[in-house]
Chains A and B, each alone.
Chain A
Amino acid sequence: MKETLLLTKHMREFPENSHQIEIYEKNNGYSALKKVLKEGNPENVINEIKDSNIRGRGGAGFPTGVKWGFLAENEDRYLVINGDESEPGTFKDRILLERDPHQLIEGVIITCFASNIKKAFIYIRGEYAKPARRVQDAVQQAYEKGYLGNNILGTNFSLDVVVHLGAGAYICGEETALLNSLEGKRGEPRLKPPYFPAVMGLYNKPTLVNNVETISSVPWIIQNSGKEYSKLGVEGSTGTRIFSLSGHVNNPGNFEIEMGKSFGEFIDTFGKGIKNNKNVKAYIPGGASAPWFTGDQLDIKMTIDDVANAGSMLGSGAIVVMDEDTNLVYAAKSIVSFFAHESCGQCTPCREGTTWLEMILERIASGRGRLSDISLLIDICDNISPGLDWPPKMTTICPLGPSAVSPITSLLNNFSEEITNMLPTKIPITQ
């Protein structure tokens, strides 16, 4: 099993200065843009993206070409790059922003050309100060070289890019919350319908919202054709994907591979096995929102559909490995606390539910749990996500609430003894 380097190739070849425009240009950078501008046919670009079958890399996995096809006609249209990477376990956009910002910017310009967009925003989470600086510097360089601004490379296509910093709110990764945030409002997800920002987005104008990794793939697709891209990976999960591997592995990191290999092989090959030769007790296949798999399920294939069929999601491509010594109640509590902290507060089931789930897990973890706590946990989860199914049903505007349910159902379905072992053996008189 080997890496297939599309997005991380340039940064590997020129580790120390991959972020500089001269180096990027020398290594074929901005040639996809030149090709597109020379041909002058936006429709072709959209068709290449459709041919590539690339699906969004932010978490939902929506086909990018289809999304672009939805973009409604309007004089003002916007592109917003979602760089609010905050899903616990995920650090793949960080490497793309930090070490190859021009690849993203070239993708942004091509995308805007294809969709006749004249203003783009790159929204980066506030905690990514260093990556944001790199992107801002790169934008500056691109302006100076005539890749951005008025009449790009002598054509009549013009584009402005603004790098915008978030301020510490995970929920702004949800695209409509991100748009509200960019409008200078609280980062609360919008009620749907309208379902697609491509119809009604930023300032209620048609807006494409795409993930950093998705748009960073665009130059390669244009350079090599959508068909070539679609040959990589497997059907339904074409191309490469950068997986963030963390937890109890010997060699954590970002690894770019074609989708379709098994998690076990991936963890062994790139993670170099588990620390201290321990066994895997459980692992998270796609960020903290995703239900866990057990150590017996390492043969599941790393594709969007295989993971979905097995009852979880490939999500943001973040794999967190937990070894046999991990206290899974603490692990679940950490994830639930995360969602309780990040709940925007609009919907009662999520605002109240996540808070109560956190408090009950805290109580159990501190040894003061009650026998009735397990049914109480299930009851609250059921209020947030009726039926506890996967994919989750929702009583909320966005999937944040149901995400807090994932670790609890994972725990109760496969590791219920961990929770019952933490309950006091003597039943307290006051229940």
Chain B
Amino acid sequence: MSWEKELIDKANEIIEMYPQKRSALGPLLYLAQEKDGYISNDSIVEISNLVGITEVQVKSVASFYSMYKEEQTGKYLLSVCKSISCEINDSRSVIDSVKNFTGLENYETDTEKVFTFEEVECIGACGGAPAVQVNYETVEGLTSEKSVQMCEWLKEERPEIIVADELQEKFGGVKSFDWAIKDNTGTSYSVPGFQNIGTAKEKSQ
């Protein structure tokens, strides 16, 4: 589906921020990802028109970065870290548990489009290893049991907005550092919740 006027306005607002149009390509790809849960061919056409480059150029960039998805993700993108600090703190048991619970292999999405599972490289939560991100919101100090409980909770509650602090309180353990600041902002889909691209949402508590 092509983009509606509102989205195109948003895109043009972002383009305005940069000295050259093409710099907005990354943020625009996030808009596309937020709209469909992946970078659709229609979005590629729209973006190539907006930025003034060819469709192949858009696709070439989109395929380079791991956060732009070629297939539609589930409502919750589960990214389990496997880099060194997590690896030596038994991230493999977390990976196995999450795979087992969801029945998914790496990069797979279930048929109901609830979960997408991926093993990822370092997410900067090494002090709180093993760590996981749900829609790019970080949860630290997980165990295999807690990670399953988290998946069960997500599946049952189906929260609209993922808030790191909430997940951390319910399922997390040791943290990389004291988070200190209370935060109820979060992400509503498999895109980092970030103002420029309009996805940050606040959860009313």
Contact = CB atoms under 8 A, between A and B. Distances in A.
A137 B185 CA distance: 12
Nearest to B58: A184
Interface residues of A, number: 72
Nearest to B27: A165
Interface residues of B, number: 63
Given A203-B20, A244-B127, A253-B176, A129 B193 contact: yes
Contacts of B197: 165
Interface in B91-130: 120-129
B87 A167 contact: no
A127 B178 contact: no
Contacts of B38: none
Contacts of B66: 167-169
Interface stretch (B2-10, B133-141, B142-150, B153-161): B133-141
B196 A130 contact: no
B65 A94 contact: no
Contact of B196 (A136, A247, A288): A136
Given A129-B136, A169-B66, A320 B126 contact: yes
Nearest to B195: A136
B88 A130 contact: no
B79 to A, nearest CB: 8
A347 B105 CA distance: 30
Given A184-B22, A322-B88, A91 B83 contact: no
B62 to A, nearest CB: 9
A127 B196 contact: no
Given A91-B124, A338-B83, A165 B180 contact: no
A99 B180 contact: yes
Nearest to B127: A252
Interface string A212-253: 000000000000000000000000000000001111100011
Contacts of A187: 64-65
23 contacts: A18-B181, A19-B181, A86-B122, A90-B126, A126-B136, A128-B124, A136-B194, A162-B18, A165-B192, A165-B197, A166-B65, A167-B65, A185-B22, A244-B127, A247-B84, A252-B174, A253-B127, A254-B127, A318-B126, A320-B84, A330-B88, A334-B82, A341-B121
Interface of A: 11, 15-19, 76, 85-91, 93-95, 98-99, 119, 125-130, 132-134, 136-137, 140, 162-170, 181-187, 203, 244-248, 252-254, 284, 288, 318, 320, 322, 326, 330-331, 334-335, 337-338, 341-342, 344
Interface of B: 17-27, 29-30, 51, 53, 60-61, 64-68, 79, 82-85, 87-89, 120-129, 133, 136-138, 164, 174, 176-183, 185, 187, 192-197, 200
